[in-house]
Amino acid sequence: MARFAAIKTEKEKTEELKQESYKYGFSMPENYAFKSKKGLNEEVIRMISKMKDEPEWMLKRRLEAYKLFLKREMPNWGADLSKINFDEVYYYIKPSSGQEKDWKDVPKEIKDTYDKLGIPEAEKEYLGGVKAQYESEVVYGSLKESLVKQGILFMGMDEALKKHPEIVAEYFGKVVGGGDNKFASLNTAVWSGGSFIYIPKGVKVELPLQAYFRINAANMGQFERTMIIVDEGAYVHYVEGCTAPIYSTDSLHAAVVEIFVKKNARCRYTTIQNWSTNVYNLVTKRAWVEENGIMEWVDGNLGSKVTMKYPSVILAGDGARGEILSVAVGGKDQHQDAGGKCIHLAKNTSSRIISKSISLNGGRASYRGMVQINKGAKNSRSKVVCDALILDKDSRSDTYPVNKISESDVTLEHEATVSKIGEEQLFYLMSRGFEEHEAEAMIVNGFVEPIVKELPMEYAVELNRLIGLQMEGSVG
Partner 1 sequence: MLQISNLSVLIEEKQILTGLGLEIKPGEVHAIMGPNGSGKSTLAYALAGHPKYEISDVRSRMSDVGVSIKIDGEEISEASPDERSKKGLYLATQYPMAVPGLTTMNFLWQIYKTRNMIHETRFMNKTEDKKPITLVEFRKWMEAQAKQLGLKPELLKRGLNDGFSGGEKKKTEVLQMLVSKPKYIILDEIDSGLDVDALKKIALTVAKMAKEEKVGVLVITHYSRILKYLVPDRVHVVKNGQIVAEGGLELVDEIETSGFKVKEN
Q: Which residues bind partner 1 (CB under 8 A)?
A: 3-5, 422-425, 427-436, 438-439, 442-443, 445-450
Of 158 and 436, which CB lies nearer to partner 1 in the complex structure?
A: 436
Helix or strand or coil: residue 175? coil
Minimum distance, C-beta of residue 111 to partner 1, in the bound complex (Å): 35
Of 57 and 428, which CB lies nearer to partner 1 in the complex structure?
A: 428
Calpha distance 332→473 (Å, rounded): 10
Helix or strand or coil: residue 450? helix
Minimum distance, C-beta of residue 22 to partner 1, in the bound complex (Å): 25
Of 67 and 437, which CB lies nearer to partner 1 in the complex structure?
A: 437
Of 4 and 57, which CB lies nearer to partner 1 in the complex structure?
A: 4
Of 1 and 40, which CB lies nearer to partner 1 in the complex structure?
A: 1
Contacts of 2 (CB under 8 A, 6+ apart): 8, 436, 475, 476
Helix or strand or coil: residue 410? strand
Minimum distance, C-beta of residue 440 to partner 1, in the bound complex (Å): 11
Of 133 and 359, which CB lies nearer to partner 1 in the complex structure?
A: 359
8 Å CB contact between 354 and 322: no
Minimum distance, C-beta of residue 127 to partner 1, in the bound complex (Å): 25
Contacts of 113 (CB under 8 A, 6+ apart): 26, 28, 134, 214, 216
Calpha distance 67→42 (Å, rounded): 9
Of 137 and 436, which CB lies nearer to partner 1 in the complex structure?
A: 436
8 Å CB contact between 367 and 338: yes
8 Å CB contact between 448 and 419: no
Minimum distance, C-beta of residue 424 to partner 1, in the bound complex (Å): 6
Calpha distance 312→268 (Å, rounded): 13
Calpha distance 204→27 (Å, rounded): 38
Calpha distance 398→388 (Å, rounded): 8
Minimum distance, C-beta of residue 287 to partner 1, in the bound complex (Å): 28
Minimum distance, C-beta of residue 469 to partner 1, in the bound complex (Å): 17
